[in-house]
Amino acid sequence: MTLLKRQKPVHLVAIAVGIGLLALAAGPVAAMAADPVRKTPDNFAYDIKDGKRVPKAGNRVTNPDGSWREERQDGDCVIVREKTASGEYRETRSC
pTM for this model (two decimals): 0.43
What pLDDT sits at residue 88?
96
- Residues 22, 14: contact at Cβ < 8 Å? no
- Predicted confidence at residue 44, as pLDDT, reads 77
Element (H, E) at 47: strand 46-49
Q: What are the DSSP calls for 20-42, one per residue? A: HHHHHHHHHHHHHHH----PPPT
What type of residue sits at position 69?
R
pLDDT tens-place string over residues 29-86: 665 655 566 677 767 777 888 888 887 767 888 999 999 999 887 778 888 999 999 9
Task: Tell me the average pLDDT across 5-15.
Answer: 67
User: Which pLDDT tens digit goes with each residue over 14-35?
Assistant: 777 778 777 766 666 665 655 5
